[in-house]
Amino acid sequence: MRAPSSHELAVGEVLLAVEDVSLSFGGVRALSEVSFNIRKGEIRAIIGPNGAGKTSMLNVVNGFYQPQSGRIVFKGETRSQMRPYAAAQGGIARTFQNLALFRGMTTLDNIMAGRTLKMKRGFFWQLIRHGPALQEEIEHRRRVEEIIDFLEIASIRRTQVGRLPYGLQKRVELGRALAMEPDLLLLDEPMAGMNLEEKEDMSRFIIDVNQQYGTTIALIEHDIGVVMDLSDRVVVLDYGRRIADGTPDEVRRDKNVIRAYLGEPHGVSA
């Protein structure tokens, strides 16, 4: 669908590298010795059958889980310990598989919340809400309005998020993540539970985010068709192991991938 373009040229240096990461919960191995990298400016997909460890991988990347071994290099810095707050400050934003919005707040307020880390004035300034604090809020609001315009959600600006249909909530969540102006955007199943039209809309927004803001995107997705059209490179996990990594075409032809998806018994792999 996407023509090769200037975009491919923009894809360059490694933004984030996962090296030999292993993670287990008690006796359950969620990830074993997984390595892959995400380059600046690309759309990177992480796919795999149910329980392959995709969400665990994402949680490791943004500091939700601490891996038992291996390391993560982000913007050239190696991290051993990472907290979600620090990840957010470092420029990693994410959306969640099951949505994590403030349901009682409006679309506008939810996305404004995404600007929290960008607010420079302290609590008391904001209480006064005058002078510099007001100036700052106006500036943030402008950025938020750009996102609202970008995601075409102007008509629900003042609607409580809890009352919105699921597809729109997903869009608001994307908006909140964008409000952080992240260097790396992690999307956990952005299209889960959507109908075809909503999926097409969301795909377009993801491509537009990538192109217009130049944001690097890593996404987990079940819908293989969508992933293949969208991503520059795909890494495939199965039972916590990396079984393939490459362009959509390479991955599509990969024997291990076909086997994993067709559900042949495990342990026979060559």
Contact set with other proteins (CB under 8 A): 3, 5-7, 141-142, 145-146, 148-150, 152, 154-155, 157, 197, 200, 204, 207-208, 211-212
Q: Which residues contact 93 (CB under 8 A, 6 or more apart)?
A: 114, 177, 178, 180, 182, 184, 185, 186
Task: Write out the two tokens for 40.
Answer: 């600046």
Task: Report in angstroms the alpha-carbon separations of 237 from 45, 82, 245.
Answer: 11, 23, 9
Reference 233, options 217, 257, 211; nearest CA is 217
Q: What is the DSSP secondary-structure string of 172-233?
A: HHHHHHHHT--SEEEEESTTTT--HHHHHHHHHHHHHIIIII--EEEEE-S-HHHHHHH-SE
Closest distance to other proteins from the beta carbon of 150 (Å): 7
Half-sphere exposure of 224 (CA within 13 A, CB side): 13
Reference 93, options 168, 204, 26, 176; nearest CA is 176
Which C-beta is closer to other proteins: that of 134 or that of 207? 207
Closest distance to other proteins from the beta carbon of 40 (Å): 17
Closest distance to other proteins from the beta carbon of 234 (Å): 21
Cα(97)–Cα(240) distance, rounded to whole angstroms? 19
Closest distance to other proteins from the beta carbon of 177 (Å): 18
Which C-beta is closer to other proteins: that of 35 or that of 135? 135
Closest distance to other proteins from the beta carbon of 145 (Å): 4
- Pairing outcome for strands 241-246 and 233-238: antiparallel
Cα-based angle 170, 173, 175 (whole degrees, multiple of 5)? 115
Closest distance to other proteins from the beta carbon of 141 (Å): 8
Which C-beta is closer to other proteins: that of 19 or that of 181? 181
Which C-beta is closer to other proteins: that of 208 or that of 250? 208
Which C-beta is closer to other proteins: that of 150 or that of 261? 150
Which C-beta is closer to other proteins: that of 213 or that of 239? 213
Closest distance to other proteins from the beta carbon of 261 (Å): 26
Which C-beta is closer to other proteins: that of 90 or that of 167? 167
Cα(102)–Cα(107) distance, rounded to whole angstroms? 9
